[in-house]
A = this chain, B = another copy of it.
Protein backbone atom coordinates (compact mmCIF):
# COMPACT_ATOMS: atom_id res chain seq x y z
CA UNK A 1 0.00 0.00 0.00
CA UNK A 2 1.10 3.55 -0.64
CA UNK A 3 1.97 5.14 2.71
CA UNK A 4 -0.42 7.83 3.98
CA UNK A 5 2.17 10.38 4.97
CA UNK A 6 1.42 13.89 6.28
CA UNK A 7 2.17 17.16 4.48
CA UNK A 8 5.93 17.63 3.91
CA UNK A 9 8.46 18.27 5.27
CA UNK A 10 9.21 14.87 6.80
CA UNK A 11 11.99 12.33 6.39
CA UNK A 12 12.43 9.21 4.26
CA UNK A 13 14.93 6.38 4.59
CA UNK A 14 15.48 4.60 1.27
CA UNK A 15 16.90 1.12 1.88
CA UNK A 16 17.94 -0.60 -1.37
CA UNK A 17 19.27 -4.14 -1.09
CA UNK A 18 20.44 -7.22 -2.97
CA UNK A 19 19.77 -10.40 -1.04
CA UNK A 20 22.16 -13.31 -0.70
CA UNK A 21 20.92 -16.83 -1.38
CA UNK A 22 20.49 -17.58 2.32
CA UNK A 23 16.88 -17.01 3.07
CA UNK A 24 16.60 -18.53 6.57
CA UNK A 25 14.37 -16.53 8.83
CA UNK A 26 14.48 -13.53 6.50
CA UNK A 27 10.71 -13.08 6.17
CA UNK A 28 9.95 -13.45 9.86
CA UNK A 29 12.72 -10.96 10.67
CA UNK A 30 11.42 -8.57 8.06
CA UNK A 31 7.86 -8.77 9.43
CA UNK A 32 9.13 -8.32 12.98
CA UNK A 33 11.12 -5.22 12.01
CA UNK A 34 8.01 -3.66 10.47
CA UNK A 35 6.05 -4.35 13.67
CA UNK A 36 8.84 -2.80 15.75
CA UNK A 37 9.20 0.23 13.49
CA UNK A 38 5.46 0.91 13.77
CA UNK A 39 5.81 1.14 17.56
CA UNK A 40 8.66 3.62 17.25
CA UNK A 41 7.94 7.28 17.98
CA UNK A 42 7.95 9.35 14.80
CA UNK A 43 7.17 6.45 12.45
CA UNK A 44 4.91 7.69 9.63
CA UNK A 45 4.61 4.67 7.33
CA UNK A 46 6.57 2.50 4.91
CA UNK A 47 6.48 1.02 1.42
CA UNK A 48 8.25 -2.08 0.19
CA UNK A 49 8.76 -3.96 -3.09
CA UNK A 50 11.21 -6.59 -4.27
CA UNK A 51 12.14 -8.48 -7.42
CA UNK A 52 15.77 -8.31 -8.64
CA UNK A 53 16.48 -5.73 -5.96
CA UNK A 54 14.51 -4.76 -2.89
CA UNK A 55 13.47 -1.21 -2.06
CA UNK A 56 11.98 -0.34 1.32
CA UNK A 57 11.19 3.28 2.06
CA UNK A 58 10.26 4.18 5.63
CA UNK A 59 8.95 7.62 6.56
CA UNK A 60 9.75 9.48 9.76
CA UNK A 61 8.89 12.75 11.47
CA UNK A 62 12.51 13.71 12.27
CA UNK A 63 16.16 12.73 12.10
CA UNK A 64 15.99 11.93 15.82
CA UNK A 65 13.23 9.38 15.17
CA UNK A 66 15.43 7.75 12.48
CA UNK A 67 18.43 7.70 14.83
CA UNK A 68 16.38 6.11 17.63
CA UNK A 69 15.09 3.43 15.28
CA UNK A 70 18.61 2.68 14.00
CA UNK A 71 19.77 2.20 17.59
CA UNK A 72 16.82 0.03 18.71
CA UNK A 73 18.40 -3.09 20.30
CA UNK A 74 16.48 -5.69 18.34
CA UNK A 75 16.93 -3.71 15.14
CA UNK A 76 20.69 -3.55 15.77
CA UNK A 77 20.72 -7.34 15.98
CA UNK A 78 18.79 -7.62 12.70
CA UNK A 79 21.27 -5.23 11.06
CA UNK A 80 24.08 -7.51 12.26
CA UNK A 81 22.39 -10.65 10.86
CA UNK A 82 21.63 -8.74 7.69
CA UNK A 83 25.30 -8.04 7.08
CA UNK A 84 26.31 -11.59 8.03
CA UNK A 85 23.74 -13.57 6.07
CA UNK A 86 20.87 -11.88 4.32
CA UNK A 87 22.37 -9.22 2.12
CA UNK A 88 25.11 -9.22 -0.49
CA UNK A 89 24.86 -5.48 -0.76
CA UNK A 90 22.76 -2.59 0.48
CA UNK A 91 22.61 1.16 0.47
CA UNK A 92 20.80 3.47 2.87
CA UNK A 93 19.87 7.02 1.95
CA UNK A 94 18.51 9.51 4.49
CA UNK A 95 16.34 12.13 2.79
CA UNK A 96 14.26 15.19 3.55
CA UNK A 97 10.96 14.96 1.68
CA UNK A 98 10.36 18.52 0.50
CA UNK A 99 7.27 18.11 -1.69
CA UNK A 100 4.80 15.43 -2.72
CA UNK A 101 1.75 14.99 -4.91
CA UNK A 102 -0.50 12.08 -5.74
CA UNK A 103 -3.09 10.69 -8.09
CA UNK A 104 -6.11 8.40 -7.50
CA UNK A 105 -8.05 6.99 -10.38
CA UNK A 106 -11.77 7.71 -10.39
CA UNK A 107 -14.14 6.48 -13.06
B-binding residues in A (CB < 8 A): 1-3, 5, 8, 12, 14, 16-18, 20, 47-55, 57, 82-83, 87-105
Q: How far is the CB of A23 from chain B (nearest CB, A)?
A: 15
Secondary structure dominating the interface of A: strand
User: Roughly how many angstroms separate A50 CA and B55 CA in the complex, as a whole number?
Assistant: 9
Copies of this chain, tallied across the complex: 2
User: Roughly how many angstroms separate A5 CA and B91 CA in the complex, as a whole number?
Assistant: 10
Q: Which residues of B contact A92 (CB under 8 A)?
A: 100-102
11 CB contacts below 8 A, A to B, read A1-B53, A2-B16, A2-B18, A8-B93, A14-B57, A16-B57, A47-B55, A49-B49, A91-B100, A94-B100, A95-B97
